[in-house]
Amino acid sequence: MSSRPAAGGGRWVDVDPERLSKWISGFRTRHGSVTVAPVASADQGWIRLAGADGSTATFHLAPGMTLPVVEAPSLLDLDRFVAAAQEPRVLGLLLARRNAAAIGVADGPDLVASKVETFYVQARTAAGGWSQQRYARRRGNQAAAGVREAADVAARILLPYAGKMAALVCGGDRPTVEAILADKRLTVLADLRQGRLLDVAEPRHVVLLDTIPLARAVPVHVVDPAPE
């Protein structure tokens, strides 16, 4: 479970689906009598706990998560949300920075396909004038070659799973990720992409493994009452 500040106040807590029930029990214990209510709009979350002390926990959909069909929003109770979060789903993973890409497919908590590639991109130079421009062009060409190679790997690893992939989760350097997904072969993957870009270390196999729990986690927006 990880936590990070939320824009506008409060904090985001990423909760593993298998620990969600325990986390909810802890929230009830810490904040007294708790009410459960649906949230008015999907972009603000799906279901909210409100504690007697004024604390709130608003649950958002995890990547690729789908909710059961209900007759009315009020029927979407917390147990159904937890069950939906724990449903196994296939996720694509694309982690990329200027010098490396780690690409994989997770089926539930398991990594079932993966490939890591590193690319040579020349370090920046302190030279000025024409030398600086020449190095900049060379760096640009090397970075573009790395993007093409990463797109080749993404096509080879991810496209065979696209038909059953619930979502594509990306992380790393945004310009590099955007450039890879601009490849026309990967249009179907770009359509599956989740909005959040994960902050990950230099892409390696171990980083890919560490990303799976974060990709599966339920984002919960927690707001505590202002101190008196």
Q: Show the domain range for 77.
A: 2-87+217-223
Count of helices and strands (H, E) across the chain: 6, 11
* Shared domain check, 208 and 100: yes
**pTM, two decimal places:** 0.85
Amino acid at site 64: G
Tell me, what's the pLDDT at 135? Answer: 54
Amino acid at site 27: F
Q: Is residue 228 part of a domain?
A: no
Express each pLDDT in 145-166 by its tens digit: 778 899 999 999 999 999 999 9
* Shared domain check, 212 and 105: yes
* Shared domain check, 79 and 15: yes
* Shared domain check, 69 and 143: no
Query: Over the chain, what is the mean pLDDT?
Result: 86
Confidence of residue 67 (pLDDT cuts 50, 70, 90): confident
* Shared domain check, 78 and 99: no
What is the rounded distance in angstroms from the CA atom of residue 196 to the CA atom of residue 171? 8
What is the rounded distance in angstroms from the CA atom of residue 99 to the CA atom of residue 122? 9
Who contacts 157 (Cβ-Cβ below 8 Å, separation ≥6)? 103, 104, 105, 113, 114, 115
Strand, helix or coil for residue 157? helix
Confidence of residue 131 (pLDDT cuts 50, 70, 90): low
